[in-house]
Amino acid sequence: MSETRWLSPDEQRTWRAYLTAHRLLLDEIDAQLRRDSGIPHAYYEILVRLSETPGRTLRMSVLAEGTRVSASRLSHAITRLEERGWVRREDCPTDRRGQLAVLTDDGFAALAAAAPGHVEAVRRALFDALDAEQVQSLGTISRILADHLDATGGETGPPEA
Amino acid sequence: MSETRWLSPDEQRTWRAYLTAHRLLLDEIDAQLRRDSGIPHAYYEILVRLSETPGRTLRMSVLAEGTRVSASRLSHAITRLEERGWVRREDCPTDRRGQLAVLTDDGFAALAAAAPGHVEAVRRALFDALDAEQVQSLGTISRILADHLDATGGETGPPEA
DNA sequence: AGCAGCTATTTGAAAGCTCAACAACAGGAC
DNA sequence: GTCCTGTTGTTGAGCTTTCAAATAGCTGCT
Protein backbone atom coordinates (compact mmCIF):
# COMPACT_ATOMS: atom_id res chain seq x y z
CA MET A 1 0.00 0.00 0.00
CA SER A 2 1.56 3.27 -1.14
CA GLU A 3 0.97 6.80 0.14
CA THR A 4 -2.36 8.28 -0.82
CA ARG A 5 -2.02 10.94 -3.51
CA TRP A 6 -4.47 13.37 -1.91
CA LEU A 7 -6.11 16.06 -4.00
CA SER A 8 -4.65 19.56 -3.86
CA PRO A 9 -7.06 22.30 -2.75
CA ASP A 10 -7.40 23.32 -6.38
CA GLU A 11 -8.12 19.82 -7.53
CA GLN A 12 -10.63 19.42 -4.78
CA ARG A 13 -12.45 22.59 -5.83
CA THR A 14 -12.50 21.39 -9.40
CA TRP A 15 -13.81 17.98 -8.47
CA ARG A 16 -16.58 19.40 -6.35
CA ALA A 17 -17.57 21.99 -8.92
CA TYR A 18 -17.70 19.20 -11.45
CA LEU A 19 -19.93 17.06 -9.25
CA THR A 20 -22.25 19.95 -8.55
CA ALA A 21 -22.51 21.03 -12.16
CA HIS A 22 -23.21 17.53 -13.33
CA ARG A 23 -25.76 16.76 -10.74
CA LEU A 24 -27.65 19.98 -11.49
CA LEU A 25 -27.41 19.44 -15.21
CA LEU A 26 -28.53 15.83 -15.28
CA ASP A 27 -31.24 16.37 -12.70
CA GLU A 28 -32.60 19.17 -14.82
CA ILE A 29 -32.54 17.11 -18.00
CA ASP A 30 -34.01 14.06 -16.36
CA ALA A 31 -36.74 16.01 -14.58
CA GLN A 32 -37.75 17.77 -17.80
CA LEU A 33 -38.06 14.50 -19.67
CA ARG A 34 -40.02 12.80 -16.92
CA ARG A 35 -42.28 15.78 -16.41
CA ASP A 36 -43.07 16.50 -20.05
CA SER A 37 -42.83 13.05 -21.60
CA GLY A 38 -42.83 10.51 -18.79
CA ILE A 39 -39.47 9.09 -19.93
CA PRO A 40 -36.38 8.92 -17.75
CA HIS A 41 -33.29 10.11 -19.53
CA ALA A 42 -31.72 6.64 -19.49
CA TYR A 43 -34.65 5.31 -21.49
CA TYR A 44 -34.56 8.22 -23.86
CA GLU A 45 -30.99 7.37 -24.77
CA ILE A 46 -31.92 3.80 -25.51
CA LEU A 47 -34.73 4.91 -27.79
CA VAL A 48 -32.42 7.34 -29.57
CA ARG A 49 -29.86 4.63 -30.30
CA LEU A 50 -32.50 2.36 -31.70
CA SER A 51 -34.08 5.10 -33.78
CA GLU A 52 -30.76 5.86 -35.47
CA THR A 53 -30.05 2.29 -36.47
CA PRO A 54 -31.17 1.04 -39.87
CA GLY A 55 -34.11 -1.22 -39.16
CA ARG A 56 -34.43 0.41 -35.73
CA THR A 57 -33.11 -2.82 -34.31
CA LEU A 58 -30.08 -3.66 -32.22
CA ARG A 59 -28.84 -6.66 -30.34
CA MET A 60 -28.98 -6.32 -26.60
CA SER A 61 -25.23 -6.64 -26.23
CA VAL A 62 -24.56 -3.97 -28.86
CA LEU A 63 -27.12 -1.64 -27.33
CA ALA A 64 -25.65 -2.17 -23.89
CA GLU A 65 -22.18 -1.35 -25.07
CA GLY A 66 -23.30 1.69 -27.04
CA THR A 67 -25.17 3.22 -24.15
CA ARG A 68 -22.59 2.11 -21.58
CA VAL A 69 -25.19 0.39 -19.52
CA SER A 70 -24.92 -2.96 -17.77
CA ALA A 71 -26.61 -5.94 -19.37
CA SER A 72 -28.87 -6.28 -16.37
CA ARG A 73 -29.95 -2.68 -16.39
CA LEU A 74 -30.66 -2.80 -20.09
CA SER A 75 -32.69 -5.97 -19.77
CA HIS A 76 -34.86 -4.40 -17.06
CA ALA A 77 -35.19 -1.21 -19.08
CA ILE A 78 -36.24 -3.04 -22.23
CA THR A 79 -38.83 -4.92 -20.21
CA ARG A 80 -40.36 -1.61 -19.09
CA LEU A 81 -40.23 -0.20 -22.59
CA GLU A 82 -41.93 -3.34 -23.87
CA GLU A 83 -44.72 -2.85 -21.35
CA ARG A 84 -45.32 0.59 -22.82
CA GLY A 85 -45.33 -0.86 -26.32
CA TRP A 86 -42.35 1.21 -27.41
CA VAL A 87 -39.94 -1.63 -27.96
CA ARG A 88 -40.38 -5.27 -28.85
CA ARG A 89 -38.00 -8.21 -28.40
CA GLU A 90 -37.17 -10.60 -31.20
CA ASP A 91 -34.95 -13.64 -31.40
CA CYS A 92 -31.60 -13.14 -33.04
CA PRO A 93 -31.49 -15.24 -36.21
CA THR A 94 -27.75 -15.94 -36.14
CA ASP A 95 -27.20 -16.65 -32.46
CA ARG A 96 -29.83 -18.40 -30.46
CA ARG A 97 -28.64 -16.77 -27.25
CA GLY A 98 -29.18 -13.35 -28.70
CA GLN A 99 -32.14 -11.03 -28.46
CA LEU A 100 -32.90 -8.07 -30.65
CA ALA A 101 -34.54 -4.93 -29.36
CA VAL A 102 -36.80 -3.39 -32.00
CA LEU A 103 -38.20 0.14 -31.74
CA THR A 104 -41.91 0.10 -32.54
CA ASP A 105 -43.78 2.83 -34.42
CA ASP A 106 -45.33 3.92 -31.14
CA GLY A 107 -41.86 4.12 -29.65
CA PHE A 108 -40.61 6.19 -32.53
CA ALA A 109 -43.57 8.52 -32.21
CA ALA A 110 -43.02 8.91 -28.48
CA LEU A 111 -39.41 9.77 -29.12
CA ALA A 112 -40.30 12.28 -31.83
CA ALA A 113 -42.74 13.93 -29.47
CA ALA A 114 -40.21 14.14 -26.65
CA ALA A 115 -37.26 15.36 -28.69
CA PRO A 116 -37.99 19.08 -29.11
CA GLY A 117 -38.52 19.71 -25.42
CA HIS A 118 -35.50 17.69 -24.52
CA VAL A 119 -33.21 19.39 -27.00
CA GLU A 120 -34.41 22.77 -25.83
CA ALA A 121 -33.65 21.76 -22.24
CA VAL A 122 -30.13 20.65 -23.15
CA ARG A 123 -29.52 23.87 -25.00
CA ARG A 124 -30.75 26.03 -22.18
CA ALA A 125 -29.01 24.08 -19.45
CA LEU A 126 -25.68 23.58 -21.19
CA PHE A 127 -24.93 25.34 -24.45
CA ASP A 128 -26.52 28.66 -23.63
CA ALA A 129 -24.20 29.01 -20.66
CA LEU A 130 -20.93 28.50 -22.53
CA ASP A 131 -19.16 30.36 -25.29
CA ALA A 132 -17.84 28.58 -28.40
CA GLU A 133 -14.39 28.05 -26.99
CA GLN A 134 -15.71 26.54 -23.80
CA VAL A 135 -17.97 24.20 -25.72
CA GLN A 136 -14.97 23.14 -27.73
CA SER A 137 -12.98 22.51 -24.56
CA LEU A 138 -15.76 20.54 -23.01
CA GLY A 139 -15.96 18.34 -26.09
CA THR A 140 -12.23 17.70 -26.11
CA ILE A 141 -12.07 16.93 -22.42
CA SER A 142 -15.10 14.67 -22.59
CA ARG A 143 -13.63 12.68 -25.44
CA ILE A 144 -10.31 12.30 -23.63
CA LEU A 145 -12.07 11.13 -20.50
CA ALA A 146 -14.35 8.74 -22.31
CA ASP A 147 -11.39 7.15 -24.09
CA HIS A 148 -9.38 7.01 -20.91
CA LEU A 149 -12.15 5.41 -18.92
CA ASP A 150 -13.06 2.99 -21.66
CA ALA A 151 -9.43 1.89 -21.72
CA THR A 152 -8.68 1.74 -18.02
CA GLY A 153 -12.16 0.98 -16.76
CA GLY A 154 -12.18 -1.51 -13.95
CA GLU A 155 -8.45 -2.15 -14.06
CA THR A 156 -6.51 -2.32 -10.85
CA GLY A 157 -3.32 -0.77 -12.11
CA PRO A 158 0.08 -2.36 -12.79
CA PRO A 159 1.19 -5.18 -10.47
CA GLU A 160 3.50 -4.16 -7.66
CA ALA A 161 6.61 -5.81 -9.07
CA MET B 1 -44.40 27.47 -29.46
CA SER B 2 -41.26 28.54 -31.33
CA GLU B 3 -39.01 26.54 -33.65
CA THR B 4 -36.85 23.99 -31.94
CA ARG B 5 -33.23 25.05 -31.78
CA TRP B 6 -31.82 21.64 -32.72
CA LEU B 7 -28.25 20.77 -31.87
CA SER B 8 -25.63 21.07 -34.59
CA PRO B 9 -23.69 17.88 -35.39
CA ASP B 10 -20.78 19.26 -33.39
CA GLU B 11 -22.95 20.09 -30.43
CA GLN B 12 -24.47 16.67 -30.59
CA ARG B 13 -21.08 15.00 -30.56
CA THR B 14 -20.05 17.10 -27.61
CA TRP B 15 -23.22 16.33 -25.68
CA ARG B 16 -22.89 12.62 -26.25
CA ALA B 17 -19.22 12.52 -25.41
CA TYR B 18 -20.06 14.40 -22.27
CA LEU B 19 -22.77 11.94 -21.28
CA THR B 20 -20.52 8.99 -21.95
CA ALA B 21 -17.59 10.42 -20.02
CA HIS B 22 -19.76 11.39 -17.12
CA ARG B 23 -21.47 8.03 -16.91
CA LEU B 24 -18.20 6.10 -17.06
CA LEU B 25 -16.61 8.38 -14.50
CA LEU B 26 -19.38 8.29 -11.93
CA ASP B 27 -20.02 4.59 -12.39
CA GLU B 28 -16.37 3.94 -11.72
CA ILE B 29 -16.31 6.13 -8.62
CA ASP B 30 -19.55 4.76 -7.28
CA ALA B 31 -18.59 1.14 -7.91
CA GLN B 32 -15.23 1.59 -6.20
CA LEU B 33 -16.85 3.07 -3.10
CA ARG B 34 -19.53 0.40 -2.90
CA ARG B 35 -17.06 -2.38 -3.51
CA ASP B 36 -14.36 -1.29 -1.10
CA SER B 37 -16.35 0.53 1.56
CA GLY B 38 -19.99 -0.38 1.09
CA ILE B 39 -21.00 3.27 0.65
CA PRO B 40 -22.72 4.72 -2.38
CA HIS B 41 -21.10 7.93 -3.56
CA ALA B 42 -24.15 9.98 -2.62
CA TYR B 43 -23.76 8.93 1.00
CA TYR B 44 -20.06 9.59 0.94
CA GLU B 45 -20.73 13.18 -0.03
CA ILE B 46 -23.14 13.63 2.84
CA LEU B 47 -20.60 12.27 5.29
CA VAL B 48 -17.90 14.55 3.89
CA ARG B 49 -20.05 17.65 4.33
CA LEU B 50 -20.81 16.75 7.90
CA SER B 51 -17.20 15.92 8.69
CA GLU B 52 -16.07 19.35 7.53
CA THR B 53 -18.54 21.27 9.63
CA PRO B 54 -17.53 22.46 13.10
CA GLY B 55 -19.40 20.18 15.47
CA ARG B 56 -19.92 17.73 12.59
CA THR B 57 -23.53 18.81 12.62
CA LEU B 58 -25.79 20.37 10.00
CA ARG B 59 -29.45 21.07 9.69
CA MET B 60 -31.24 18.89 7.18
CA SER B 61 -32.19 21.83 5.00
CA VAL B 62 -28.63 23.15 4.91
CA LEU B 63 -27.23 19.74 4.17
CA ALA B 64 -29.76 19.24 1.40
CA GLU B 65 -28.87 22.52 -0.21
CA GLY B 66 -25.13 21.95 0.09
CA THR B 67 -25.26 18.54 -1.52
CA ARG B 68 -27.93 19.55 -4.04
CA VAL B 69 -30.15 16.73 -3.01
CA SER B 70 -33.91 16.79 -2.52
CA ALA B 71 -35.25 16.93 1.01
CA SER B 72 -36.92 13.60 0.56
CA ARG B 73 -33.83 11.88 -0.70
CA LEU B 74 -31.76 13.28 2.11
CA SER B 75 -34.27 12.17 4.69
CA HIS B 76 -34.20 8.61 3.39
CA ALA B 77 -30.41 8.67 3.18
CA ILE B 78 -30.02 9.89 6.74
CA THR B 79 -32.35 7.14 7.87
CA ARG B 80 -30.06 4.54 6.30
CA LEU B 81 -26.96 6.18 7.73
CA GLU B 82 -28.59 6.20 11.14
CA GLU B 83 -29.25 2.48 10.85
CA ARG B 84 -25.53 1.96 10.35
CA GLY B 85 -24.77 4.15 13.34
CA TRP B 86 -22.85 6.68 11.28
CA VAL B 87 -25.20 9.59 11.75
CA ARG B 88 -27.63 10.54 14.48
CA ARG B 89 -30.60 12.91 14.39
CA GLU B 90 -31.12 15.64 16.97
CA ASP B 91 -33.79 18.24 17.43
CA CYS B 92 -32.93 21.73 16.34
CA PRO B 93 -32.89 23.99 19.41
CA THR B 94 -34.00 27.15 17.62
CA ASP B 95 -36.71 25.82 15.31
CA ARG B 96 -38.90 22.99 16.41
CA ARG B 97 -39.54 21.93 12.82
CA GLY B 98 -35.82 21.44 12.27
CA GLN B 99 -33.66 18.37 12.60
CA LEU B 100 -29.90 18.24 12.89
CA ALA B 101 -27.83 15.49 11.36
CA VAL B 102 -24.80 14.69 13.51
CA LEU B 103 -21.88 12.61 12.28
CA THR B 104 -20.97 10.00 14.91
CA ASP B 105 -17.45 8.84 15.73
CA ASP B 106 -18.17 5.60 13.94
CA GLY B 107 -19.29 7.59 10.92
CA PHE B 108 -16.14 9.66 10.99
CA ALA B 109 -14.03 6.54 11.23
CA ALA B 110 -15.86 4.92 8.32
CA LEU B 111 -15.26 8.03 6.25
CA ALA B 112 -11.59 8.15 7.16
CA ALA B 113 -11.25 4.52 6.15
CA ALA B 114 -12.97 5.06 2.82
CA ALA B 115 -11.21 8.26 1.84
CA PRO B 116 -7.83 7.03 0.57
CA GLY B 117 -9.30 4.50 -1.84
CA HIS B 118 -11.85 6.99 -3.04
CA VAL B 119 -9.33 9.77 -3.64
CA GLU B 120 -7.09 7.39 -5.48
CA ALA B 121 -10.00 6.37 -7.69
CA VAL B 122 -10.84 9.99 -8.48
CA ARG B 123 -7.24 10.72 -9.33
CA ARG B 124 -6.90 7.72 -11.59
CA ALA B 125 -10.22 8.17 -13.30
CA LEU B 126 -10.09 11.93 -13.79
CA PHE B 127 -6.92 13.85 -13.01
CA ASP B 128 -4.44 11.34 -14.39
CA ALA B 129 -6.10 11.61 -17.80
CA LEU B 130 -5.88 15.40 -18.13
CA ASP B 131 -3.02 17.87 -18.31
CA ALA B 132 -2.90 20.97 -16.12
CA GLU B 133 -4.54 23.20 -18.66
CA GLN B 134 -7.41 20.80 -19.20
CA VAL B 135 -7.99 20.49 -15.48
CA GLN B 136 -8.10 24.25 -15.29
CA SER B 137 -10.63 24.38 -18.14
CA LEU B 138 -12.78 21.73 -16.56
CA GLY B 139 -12.83 23.69 -13.31
CA THR B 140 -13.81 26.90 -15.04
CA ILE B 141 -16.53 25.29 -17.11
CA SER B 142 -17.93 23.41 -14.14
CA ARG B 143 -18.14 26.58 -12.07
CA ILE B 144 -19.87 28.44 -14.88
CA LEU B 145 -22.36 25.63 -15.32
CA ALA B 146 -23.02 25.27 -11.62
CA ASP B 147 -23.70 28.99 -11.30
CA HIS B 148 -25.84 29.02 -14.41
CA LEU B 149 -27.92 26.07 -13.31
CA ASP B 150 -28.27 27.33 -9.77
CA ALA B 151 -29.59 30.56 -11.18
CA THR B 152 -31.87 29.28 -13.91
CA GLY B 153 -32.78 25.93 -12.38
CA GLY B 154 -36.41 25.06 -12.94
CA GLU B 155 -37.30 28.31 -14.63
CA THR B 156 -39.45 28.25 -17.71
CA GLY B 157 -37.91 31.16 -19.52
CA PRO B 158 -39.32 34.62 -20.24
CA PRO B 159 -43.05 34.92 -20.84
CA GLU B 160 -44.17 35.06 -24.48
CA ALA B 161 -45.11 38.72 -24.45
C1' DA C 1 -55.68 35.49 20.03
C1' DG C 2 -56.81 33.48 15.53
C1' DC C 3 -55.86 32.56 10.90
C1' DA C 4 -53.74 32.13 6.34
C1' DG C 5 -49.86 30.89 4.06
C1' DC C 6 -45.13 29.51 4.22
C1' DT C 7 -41.20 26.40 5.45
C1' DA C 8 -39.08 21.99 7.23
C1' DT C 9 -39.17 17.30 7.33
C1' DT C 10 -41.01 12.77 6.94
C1' DT C 11 -43.50 8.94 4.86
C1' DG C 12 -45.13 5.34 1.56
C1' DA C 13 -45.57 3.62 -2.84
C1' DA C 14 -43.88 3.08 -7.36
C1' DA C 15 -40.02 2.94 -10.25
C1' DG C 16 -34.91 2.27 -11.25
C1' DC C 17 -30.45 0.39 -10.36
C1' DT C 18 -26.96 -3.05 -8.69
C1' DC C 19 -25.33 -7.36 -7.65
C1' DA C 20 -25.06 -12.17 -7.69
C1' DA C 21 -26.90 -16.27 -9.36
C1' DC C 22 -28.76 -18.73 -13.17
C1' DA C 23 -30.08 -20.78 -17.79
C1' DA C 24 -29.05 -21.37 -22.45
C1' DC C 25 -26.07 -21.40 -26.10
C1' DA C 26 -21.52 -20.90 -28.87
C1' DG C 27 -16.79 -22.31 -30.07
C1' DG C 28 -12.99 -24.91 -29.77
C1' DA C 29 -10.07 -28.97 -28.01
C1' DC C 30 -9.94 -33.68 -27.76
C1' DG D 1 -19.76 -36.58 -30.31
C1' DT D 2 -18.30 -34.71 -25.50
C1' DC D 3 -16.36 -31.60 -22.44
C1' DC D 4 -14.83 -27.25 -21.04
C1' DT D 5 -14.84 -22.47 -21.09
C1' DG D 6 -16.66 -18.08 -22.28
C1' DT D 7 -20.65 -15.34 -23.91
C1' DT D 8 -25.50 -13.66 -23.86
C1' DG D 9 -29.28 -12.43 -21.60
C1' DT D 10 -32.66 -12.81 -17.71
C1' DT D 11 -34.24 -12.86 -12.99
C1' DG D 12 -35.04 -11.70 -8.08
C1' DA D 13 -33.79 -9.45 -3.99
C1' DG D 14 -32.36 -5.49 -1.79
C1' DC D 15 -31.37 -0.78 -1.90
C1' DT D 16 -31.89 4.08 -3.77
C1' DT D 17 -34.47 7.68 -5.90
C1' DT D 18 -38.72 10.11 -7.13
C1' DC D 19 -43.12 11.95 -6.48
C1' DA D 20 -47.07 13.27 -4.04
C1' DA D 21 -49.24 13.60 0.22
C1' DA D 22 -49.15 14.38 5.07
C1' DT D 23 -47.54 16.49 9.53
C1' DA D 24 -45.88 20.15 12.27
C1' DG D 25 -44.25 24.50 13.31
C1' DC D 26 -43.11 29.29 11.98
C1' DT D 27 -44.62 34.29 10.55
C1' DG D 28 -47.12 38.14 9.65
C1' DC D 29 -51.77 40.19 9.52
C1' DT D 30 -56.02 41.44 11.47
Tell me which residues from 27 to 56 on chain B have a beta carbon below 7 angstroms from nucleic acid strand C.
Answer: 27, 30-31, 34-35
Q: Which domain holds residue A77?
A: 10-114
Q: Is residue B148 part of a domain?
A: no
Measured between CA atoms, the residue of chain A closest to residue B144 is: A129
Contacts of B21 in chain A (CB under 8 A): 141-143, 145-146, 149
Number of A:B CB contacts under 8 A? Answer: 154
Per-residue pLDDT tens over the stretch B98-147: 999 999 999 999 999 999 999 999 999 999 999 999 999 999 999 999 99
User: Hey, what's the torsion of the CAs at A56, A59, A62, A66, to 10 degrees?
Assistant: 40
3-state SS assignment for residue B90:
strand
Number of domains in chain A: 1
CB B69 within 8 A of CB B77: yes
Q: Is residue A137 part of a domain?
A: no
CB count within 10 Å of CB B60 equals 18
In angstroms, the CA A134 to CA B143 distance is 12
Q: Is residue B30 part of a domain?
A: yes
Nucleotides of D under 7 A from a protein CB: 7-12, 15-21, 24-27
pLDDT at position B155 is 64
pLDDT at position B96 is 96
In angstroms, the CA B15 to CA B33 distance is 27
* Strand C atom within 7 Å of B142 CB: no
In angstroms, the CA B158 to CA A107 distance is 32
> Under an 8 A CB cutoff, do B7 and A126 touch?
no
* Strand C atom within 7 Å of B121 CB: no
pLDDT at position B2 is 73
> Under an 8 A CB cutoff, do B120 and A5 touch?
yes
Confidence of residue B17 (pLDDT cuts 50, 70, 90): very high
CB B56 within 8 A of CB B102: yes
CATH number for the domain that contains residue A95:
1.10.10.10
pLDDT at position A152 is 76
Q: Is residue A104 part of a domain?
A: yes
According to DSSP H, which parts of chain A are helical?
A: 9-37, 41-52, 60-67, 71-83, 105-125, 132-152
Strands A57-59 and B57-59: unpaired
Q: How confident is the prediction along chain A (161 residues), in pLDDT tens digits per residue?
A: 678 899 999 999 999 999 999 999 999 999 999 999 999 999 999 999 999 999 999 999 999 999 999 999 999 999 999 999 999 999 999 999 999 999 999 999 999 999 999 999 999 999 999 999 999 999 999 999 999 998 776 565 554 43
Q: Is residue B15 part of a domain?
A: yes
> Under an 8 A CB cutoff, do B122 and A20 touch?
no
Q: Is residue A41 part of a domain?
A: yes
